[in-house]
Amino acid sequence: MMQLTEISGLARQVNEDWQSPIADTVAAPWGIAPGVARWWRSSASHVFVVPDTPKPDSALYLRFVPERYPAYGRFGTIAALMDRLHGRGLALTPPVRSAQGRLVETVETPLGTMRAMCLTEAPGEEVELEDLTEEQARAWGALLARTHDSAAGLGDGLGPALDGIAGAARLYSADAELAAAVAKVAAALAGLPRDPESYGVVHGDFELDNLAWQGATPTAFDFDEAAFSWYAADIAHALRDLTDDGRPDPARAGLLDSFLAGYREVRPLTGATPDELLLFAGANAARSLVELHPVLATLDEGRPDDLDKLRGDLAEHRDEQRAIVIAAAAAL
């Protein structure tokens, strides 16, 4: 995630109609007229929606990130992956090529150099967990399995997702309980096989809020976290809302079982017992803590008071991830 001061800096360039000269500059390579793009959100990147494009009642999404963030260097890799997955028939939102035929553009703006991509809108609507049916949960699992199958051999430029989690022990060294738990989880991962059946290119964030639905048919988007990892780790992350500190939530058992059944209809599933999913949930949480650290370290930098709620949400998220890591280590 970008630092809060970065987000606040962009927010100050947005007017009351959600327009921004920064977005206009970034949108130009796609032939998008000034004033059309509207600010949507900022987190891992800045996102602007381009309504009624390319036709009424549809939209494009313009995403861009400053040069000093790791996502800057990954944009080309992610866009190429999505383009190739779309070519293989996977149900996802494909990137749109610029007027120069490029998937990604590098643009100079008053806020610095930005790397940008433009994506089509996912058809359908988002479904909240409370409204999710078991039929949809099965389709959700099946689409993740198809994503894993379709991405085989397309990992050029991607790195391993979980190899750096031991770094959380150093970053949070003042928290002895957390540091010990991270070390224990990292040691457990080190002993796991990385064969093609269990390890490969993963989506990295296949939660419900990255799916759009037409009835029982989902379309995926937001491949920003794509990397190499265990497929079961991808499943554990996707199912976070169906678990409690990494353990299956009995109240959501039917949805979780349907998800796993849908996955198994497409490809074999190993490493998905409750204990194994808890281990991967702990590993994913440790990774989140590593990524959160530079953001948390600058929570008060520049005191962007307009982002107080986001500041509080991040601190709460840190505490939740800490609890998951400790729970996973306790089960080993």
pLDDT digits (tens, 9 = 90+) for 213-239: 999 999 999 999 999 999 999 999 999
Res 299: pLDDT: 63
pLDDT band at 300 (very low <50, low <70, confident <90, very high): low
Predicted local distance difference test score (pLDDT) of residue 103:
98
Q: How far is CA 185 from CA 149, 181, 282, in A?
A: 27, 6, 7
Bridge partner list, 220: 92, 211
Q: What percent of the chain stands above pLDDT 70?
A: 97
User: Which alpha helices (DSSP H) does 88-198 contain, by range?
Assistant: 134-150, 167-171, 176-190
Q: Rounded to an integer, what distance in angstroms lies between the CA atom of residue 314 and that of residue 299?
A: 9
Give the mean pLDDT of the chain: 93
The per-residue pLDDT for range 107-132, each reduced to its tens digit, is 999 999 999 999 999 999 999 999 99
pLDDT score for 314 = 84
What is the value of pTM for the model shown? 0.93
Predicted confidence (pLDDT) at residue 169 exceeds the cutoff of 70: yes
Cβ–Cβ < 8 Å for 304, 6? no
Contact criterion met (CB below 8 Å) for 208 and 127: yes
User: Can you name the residues that pair with 108 across neighbouring β-strands?
Assistant: 113
The pLDDT assigned to 54 comes to: 85
pLDDT in tens, 102-113: 999 999 999 999
Beta-bridge partners for 27: none
Is residue 16 within 8 Å of residue 39, measured between CB atoms?
A: no
Backbone φ and ψ of 157, nearest 5°:
90, -10
Query: What amino acid occupies position 116?
Result: A
